[in-house]
Structure 1
Amino acid sequence: MSDAASDCTQARAAVTEAEVEGLIRGICFKTGPPRTVGVELEWLVHELRQPQLPLTSERLEAAYAAARAAPLASALTVEPGGQLELSSPPAASLMECVRTVSADLDAVRAALRERGLGLAGIGHDPWHAPRRFLRQPRYDAMETSLDRTGPAGRAMMCASASVQVCLDAGYEEPGPLGHVRRWWLAHQLGAVLVAAFANSPMAGHRPTGWA
């Protein structure tokens, strides 16, 4: 990006609703046959010897630096509460995706295990209250917005982990609102899938019934 373009991007603080809709439609609702699959795996990170012990930001940062040093095909990123996320590259088949992410997960587990840390594949942190690990403007804005309706937003941001399967959207339906129907359908299916695969048996050291 040129210096002029960079300055222009930094100077502009907002986009219009129409621009946002166009961006989402172009990225999330491309036309064409489904061809690739991917997955995003989020994990809660905890002390192996005693999971209920709190982890410092410095401890997590050092562990993530060591994990990134491993030869990973997936991108390793961090969620607002310090959850670890592996995002696979697009794969031509489900089994290719599974093999790639499984190898990366083995490497990450090994790197964390050397530092006395482990991964918990459950939906909600059973041991700790939500706390922010990342301090970035986008998460500051998200937290402010979510706080307007109560504490559930912070719990989602900072104390939850999930599996997100990424699929090509497929063909555009006829008519100018084809992408709107797909957006609506994705939301309807999302709620059903979340309920069907809920796996958060404990929160605040108490049973939740969400399993």
Structure 2
Amino acid sequence: MSAPAVPSAEPVTGTRQLVEALEAGCKPKEAWRIGTEHEKFGFTLEDLKPLPYEGPRGIKTMLNGLTALGWQPIAEDGNVIALTDSQGASVTLEPGGQLELSGGLMETLHQTADEVTAHLEQVKSVAEPLGIGFLGVGFQPKWRREDIPWMPKGRYDIMGRHMPRVGSKGIDMMLRTCTVQVNLDFASESDMVRKLRVSLALQPIATALFASSPFIEGRPCGLLSARADVWTDTDPARTGGLPFAFDEGMGFERYVDWMLDVPMYFVYRNGRYIDAAGQSFRDFMEGRLPALPGELPTQGDWADHLTTAFPDVRLKKFLEMRGADGGPWRRLVALPALWTGLLYDSIALDGAWELVKTWTAQDREALRVDIARQGLDTPIAGRTARDIAIDMLVLAADGLHRRDRRTESGRDESIYLAPLETIARTGCTAAEEMLEAFTDRWGGCVDPLFSEYAY
């Protein structure tokens, strides 16, 4: 999750300022970049337990080890809670100690692959002498909520108290899920809308392709993506498929209107988080926020507030694709390859819209809800998710061919789609491979998953 926004003293008094903050993300095509983020579960090798923050084999020790490799620490209340580098990347902590790389802005997927490789090599170089491993799946496969230590970040205290008021699975989202996502640019408001609609409609197909979380507390849970299922009952006010995005007149202003109705979590002031859970940003703009009576929000407060909504695709000054389970190296790079191929090539984007333009709001929501259980077999408008996935991958590969960004050996970016093409061709996801192994090679125990799917 995000660190606090860079402070801005400019007060926000009208919605036009908020719209302009999003409009500022518009960039010419030559300036479009690829930003990839991924989370991973840390565990101690001998007993597979989650890492605490403190201690000789804790998250703090991991962060200090990465600091020795050139990362710069960021502290909160004396605790190191994030790292940054000179290239714009950061390492941050999720509530349950999941370690996240928020990568720099890359021109090509080849650079993304190099970045992920370098990061994982650094993590392993610090972790292995400590007897620590890191796992790439979508949901913690073994441990209960109460087994997982909370990280010392103020916003997580507030969120942890608020989540049970609005849904039954928000704490699971915070403590027991991992994802990979990609952040992509847009040229204009109309380009943003077209990309937002396509990516919202197709996000469940990505969920199916990346499904890798069929276990909860050591047993099969009847789902292929327990992580995706968590999002169906986390907080309806700030999650979902944004059906209004398909309405006529959709644009930056409409998204701002929605965000103003998303209840707040906090305000960040003087290095601490002030609990404003459930309060209104609209009231804040009128100086009537109960948590800070008489104060007006700043642009930094608005930037913070944008990070507290969790739709399937999130709009900031770029678009965040949020539908995939975490996974191994090859799938970490496959996720940005899929969406870059679809959204950064106009022909592929037009083709993707053709796939989804006749889907109704009911179609999209049914797909979103059912995909966690049925995966690639999920029906949608007379077809299956697998049918759509195959078409998506053809479009994405063609888009990447046309981008024509090549390695020194002459290979273009479509090489990173290979693991997804295998999944779509066979109809067998990582989750289904895990379930087969569980009943066969693993003898009904999830423990081998921690070695077979470790980085």
Q: TM-score, normalised by structure 1?
A: 0.77
SS in 1 for 2:28: coil
Secondary structure of the structure 2 residue equivalent to 1:57: coil
Q: Give the whole-Å Cα distance in 2 for the aligned partners of 1:97 and 1:7.
A: 31
Correspondence for 1:99 among 101, 114, 117: 114
Residues 137 and 183 of structure 1: CA distance in aligned 2, closer, same or farther (over 3 Å): farther
Q: Kindly report which structure 2 residues correspond to 1:1-211, keeping only aligned pairs within 5 A, or say none.
A: 18=15, 21-22=18-19, 25-26=22-23, 29-33=25-29, 35-51=32-48, 53-58=49-54, 59-71=58-70, 74-130=89-145, 131=148, 133-173=150-190, 179-180=192-193, 182-208=195-221, 209-210=223-224, 211=431
8 A contact 1:68–1:76 mirrored in 2: no
Partner of 1:124, secondary structure, is coil
Contact 1:25 1:179 in 2 (8 A): no
Q: Which runs of 5+ in 1 are unaligned?
A: 1-5
Given that residues 32 and 186 in structure 2 are in contact (C-alpha distance below 8 angstroms), is that contact kept between their aligned partners in structure 1?
A: no
Shift of 1:170: 3.7
Distance 1:137 1:196, change over 3 A: same
Cα distance between partner residues in 2 of 1:146 and 1:23? 31
The answer to whether the Cα contact below 8 Å between 1:41 and 1:164 also exists between their aligned partners in 2 is yes
Residues 37-68 of structure 1, C-alpha deviations (whole Å, 9 max, x = no match):
121110000111221x3433212211222123
| Kept in 1: contact 2:53–2:151 (CA 8 A) | no
Q: Percent identity?
A: 29
Q: How far, CA to CA, are the matches of 1:206 and 1:17 in structure 2?
A: 51
**Distance 1:110-1:186 versus aligned 2 partners, 3 A rule:** same
Name the Cα RMSD after superposition.
2.9
Question: C-alpha deviations, 1:138-175, integer Å up to 9, x for none?
Answer: 333433443234331111111111111222234431xx
Higher relative contact order (CA 8 A, sep 6+): 1
User: One-letter code of the match for 2:63?
Assistant: Y
Deviation at 1:109, TM superposition (A): 1.1
Displacement of 1:135 after TM fit?
A: 3.9
- SS of the residue corresponding to residue 127 of structure 1 reads coil
* Alpha-carbon distance in structure 2 between the residues aligned to 1:181 and 1:142: 32
Q: Distance in 2 between matches of 1:30 and 1:38?
A: 16
**Unaligned stretches of 5+ residues in structure 2:** 1-6, 72-84, 225-430, 432-455
Deviations 1:59-98 (A, max 9, x none): 2211222123224664211111110011211111100111
Q: CA deviation at 1:118?
A: 0.6
What is the letter of the counterpart of residue 167 of structure 1? L
Q: Return the letter of the residue paired with 2:204.
A: A
Partner amino acid for 2:33? T
Question: SS of the residue aligned with 1:85?
Answer: strand
The count of aligned residue pairs is 196
Q: Please say if residues 41 and 135 of structure 2, whose CA atoms lie closer than 8 Å, have aligned partners that are also in contact.
A: yes
